[in-house]
Homo-oligomer: A and B are copies of this chain.
Amino acid sequence: MELTDDTLRDLHRRMVRIRLFEEAAGRLAEANKLPGFLHLYVGEEAVAAGVCVALTDEDQITSTHRGHGHLVAKGGDFNRMMAELMAKSTGYCKGKGGSMHISDLELGMLGANGIVGAGTPIAVGAGFANKYRDNGKVAAAFFGDGATNIGAFHEAANMACALKLPVVFVCENNEYGEFTPRHKTMAITDIVDRAVGYGMPSVMVDGMDAVAVYEAAVEAVARARAGAGPSLIEAKTYRYYNHHGVQNLGLKYRPDAEVERWKERDAINGIQARMAEAGVMTPDQAEAVWAEIRADIDAAIKFADESPTPDPSMLLVDVYSQNVEAL
C-alpha cells in the first residue's frame, strides 16, 4: 500500500477542516449563539480523517454525540452544518436535530447519535445492506471507549462477526467517558482486548497520527470489502476541550500536564511536520490551506447567521414519511 502525497494532503485538509469548524463552533457556543449541547472533536481529528480517507463517498459511517468531526471528514458541507448548529432551517436537519443528530445520508453519514453506543447496531444494519446487495461498500462505526461498556456495542460487534458483515468498528479511545477516567469503568487498558471475544481482527493505533489511522483503516476496509468480515481499530486519542462545551467546568478531572502531553503530539502539527520534511507541503502552503478553510468557515457562519429559523409550520412535518396530521 503506497501512501501518496495526495493522500497526505487529503488527510491534512480534512483535519484542518475539522479543527477550524470545531473551534469556530466553540467560539459561537461561548458567545451563546449555539443552542443545546456541543461536544467538540478537537484533538481527535486524525481518527475521523484517517478512517474517512480510507473510505469512498459511497461507504457509510455512523457517529456519536461527538459527531461534527465525522461529518466534516466524510465531506460535510460547512454551510449546512453551521446552520444546523444554529438551529436554522437551512441546516442539515432543518434545525430539528442539532449537533447531536447531524447527518447527511447522501454522504453516507447516518447520523450523530445522542445515545451512547446506539450507532453501532445501525452500522451493522448498513453493513448488512451492503452485503445483501453485494455492492462492495463498507460501513464504519465510530464510538468512544466509554461506549464499549454498553450492551448495544457488544451486540453489534458480535452480530457483525456472526454474519460476517462489511463493518469497521472504530474506537476513539480518549481515556474518558464524560468526566470519569477509563480505569474506573473497565478493568482493561486497551479496547482491542474486546475484539477477542467476537473473533474479530483488531489493531491498536496512535490516534494522533493520521497516517497510522489511515493505514489501519485501509487494511480493515479492504478486509471488509473482500468479504472477510469486520475489524476493530482502536485509536488512542484525546479531546482537548471539555466533554461538552468549551471550558472545563470547575472540577479538574484531568491533570493539566496530561492535557499538555497530548497537545504536544497534536495530529495536525504532526502531519504538517511530516509533509514539510518530505517536501510535500511547505509551511506556507499549509498556511494557505488554513486560510482557505478559514474563509469557508467565515462564509458558513455568515450563511448560517443569515438563514431563517424554521417556520413554526414545520413542527409536525417529517414525523412520518407521508405526513400525518397532528393529533
Known: A154-B154, A155-B149, A155-B150. A193 touches B199 (CB 8 A): yes
The majority secondary structure among interface residues of chain A is helix
A119 CB, min distance to chain B CBs, angstroms: 14
Cβ contacts A193-206/B at 8 Å (1 or 0 each): 11111111000000
With beta carbons under 8 angstroms apart, the residue of B154, B188, B197 that contacts A193 is B197
**Residue A226 interfacial (CB < 8 Å):** no
Cα A195 to Cα B186 with chains together (Å): 12
Closest to A200 in B: B187
**How many subunits of this chain does the assembly comprise?**
2
Known: A154-B154, A193-B197, A193-B199. A161 touches B149 (CB 8 A): no
A312 CB, min distance to chain B CBs, angstroms: 39
For A, the interface residue count at a CB cutoff of 8 angstroms equals 26
Cβ contacts A174-200/B at 8 Å (1 or 0 each): 000000000011111000011111111
B196 lies within 8 A of A197 (CB): yes
A161: chain B residues within 8 A (beta carbon): 186-187
**Residue A29 interfacial (CB < 8 Å):** no
Cα A55 to Cα B161 with chains together (Å): 36
With beta carbons under 8 angstroms apart, the residue of B152, B184, B197 that contacts A188 is B197
Cα A159 to Cα B151 with chains together (Å): 11
A194: chain B residues within 8 A (beta carbon): 196-197
A230 CB, min distance to chain B CBs, angstroms: 9
Enumerate A130-181 residues with CB–CB distance to B below 8 Å: 149-155, 158-159, 161-162, 164
A193 lies within 8 A of B196 (CB): yes
**Residue A207 interfacial (CB < 8 Å):** no
Cα A153 to Cα B154 with chains together (Å): 9
Given contacts A158-B187, A188-B197, 14 further A-B pairs with CB under 8 A are A149-B154, A149-B162, A153-B154, A154-B155, A162-B186, A164-B187, A186-B198, A186-B199, A187-B200, A187-B229, A188-B199, A193-B197, A194-B197, A195-B197
